[in-house]
Amino acid sequence: MSITPAFFYNLLIEQGTDFFTGVPDSLLKSICAYITDNSNNHIIAVNEGSAIALASGYHLATGKIPLVYMQNSGIGNAVNPLLSLADGDVYRIPIILLIGWRGEPGTKDEPQHIKQGKVTCSLFDAMNIPYLIINPNNEDEVKNQIYNCYSYVKKENTPFALIIKKDTFAPYSLSSVTETGNETPEAVISREEAIEEIICSSEDNEVFISTTGMASRELFELRKKHNMGHEKDFLTVGSMGHSSSLALGIALQKPNQPVTCIDGDGAALMHLGNFAAIGAQKPKNLRHFVLNNAAHDSVGGQPTIADKIDLPGIAFAAGYDRIFFVKTKEELQNVLKEKERPLYIEILVRKGSRKDLGRPSSSPQENKKAFMQFLLRGES
């Protein structure tokens, strides 16, 4: 059994919560979609720590209790403001935390979620943040859980976590109006088509660092399609937003090795300071692609703000010397002829992926070993 997003949302509204922020998660996609469609006071944050700070600012200005949603993988980003801003020993900020429990023990999930799933509850224990695991099998019990949560938060003025298991929420999709409003009408190329052009024009010894989600899955599938090995690719299946820093670390230590980072707009926004690090170092062997569809495509298509800001302009201000923005396959093919690096290339791509898209068949450890061996061979 599952609960409808409308039922859960209305319970929050009844308790006085009317401000929502966070980073979308696949387990929360239905409630996030419902919030997007029904709340005029909703901001999708660039990362989870920023969401905690944003919610804290809302409370300071209104005295009300905000809600912050995130996947449990985002707890790490949120720890600092939770403990040094919202905590009872500091400012005592009341916040409802809605946490998607990926990697829940006893359930099958992707390898990057296994450890996070094991320690989710113990992390809240360590932070002295009380929590409840929502039981979707009984609406009356859910009502009592919400009541108990708010009773605590209103008394203590500190955060409280509601942990959400898989299939807790009944399906709900973003309205067509919302999706159309976030669509990028100029986009004519898919993300997979863009990645295919990139790898098929790359140098023989080029290594790739790909961001978490669909991009890494598509890269893996495309290598199979073209009978290429996987040893040149580091698939960053977790740690969203960090692929560009990984690529920078490799590029600086392997200056004769061409390095390409395949990034997403949501991931790039999550840790935008990486642009400054790359711009300051100016590695002569690095290309940084941002595939921009203005959406968190891997977790339900929730919108990002990447269609409202100038990412190439930010890259220029951060110190990248050579910057390109492309919208078509022909424009991309021309840019791929550029040899001088560092390069920043933003590609406008369509939302969505093919329905039969597979997942990497190798483990993260196998991927790491093959990748490091390839880098080592490049030195000989």
Q: Do 5-173 and 191-379 fold alike per CATH?
A: yes
Task: Please give the Cα distance from 380 to 365 (Å, whole number).
Answer: 23
Task: Please give the Cα distance from 351 to 160 (Å, whole number).
Answer: 34
- Arithmetic mean of pLDDT, 242-252: 97
- From the list 46, 42, 80, 56, the residue with the least C-alpha distance to 314 is 46
Cross-strand bridge partners of residue 259: 207, 286
Q: Half-sphere exposure of residue 83, counting CA atoms within 13 Å on the CB side?
A: 12
- Arithmetic mean of pLDDT, 196-214: 95
Residue ranges per structural domain of the chain:
5-173, 191-379
Q: What share of the chain has pLDDT > 70, as a percent? A: 97
- From the list 70, 306, 351, 333, the residue with the least C-alpha distance to 201 is 333
- Arithmetic mean of pLDDT, 195-220: 95
Q: Is the pLDDT of residue 186 over 80?
A: no
Task: Give me the pLDDT at residue 300, please.
Answer: 78
5-173 CATH choice from 3.90.600.10, 3.40.50.970, 3.10.20.600, 1.10.10.60: 3.40.50.970
Task: Please give the Cα distance from 261 to 314 (Å, whole number).
Answer: 17
- Arithmetic mean of pLDDT, 67-96: 98
Least confident of 183-192, 211-220, 305-314, 352-361: 183-192
pLDDT-derived band at 52 (thresholds 50, 70, 90) equals very high
pLDDT-derived band at 185 (thresholds 50, 70, 90) equals low
CB contact set of 290 (below 8 Å; sequence gap of 6+): 263, 264, 265, 268, 311, 344, 345, 346, 347
Task: Give me the pLDDT at residue 345, please.
Answer: 98
- Arithmetic mean of pLDDT, 67-90: 97
Q: Is the pLDDT of residue 171 over 70?
A: yes
What is the assigned CATH class of domain 191-379?
Answer: alpha beta
- Arithmetic mean of pLDDT, 267-286: 97
Task: Give me the pLDDT at residue 180, please.
Answer: 38
Read off the pLDDT of residues 16-46 as tens digits, 9 standing for 90 and up: 999 999 999 999 999 999 999 999 999 999 9
- Arithmetic mean of pLDDT, 299-313: 91
Task: Please give the Cα distance from 301 to 295 (Å, whole number).
Answer: 5
Q: Give the total residue count for the chain.
A: 380
Read off the pLDDT of residues 105-130 as tens digits, 9 standing for 90 and up: 999 888 888 999 999 999 999 999 99
Query: How does the average pLDDT of the chain come out, rounded?
Result: 94
CB contact set of 193 (below 8 Å; sequence gap of 6+): 329, 349
Task: Give me the pLDDT at residue 32, please.
Answer: 95
Task: Give me the pLDDT at residue 178, please.
Answer: 45
- From the list 316, 305, 197, the residue with the least C-alpha distance to 260 is 197
Task: Give me the pLDDT at residue 184, please.
Answer: 53
Task: Give me the pLDDT at residue 301, please.
Answer: 83
61: left (phi over 0), alpha (psi -120 to 50) or beta: alpha
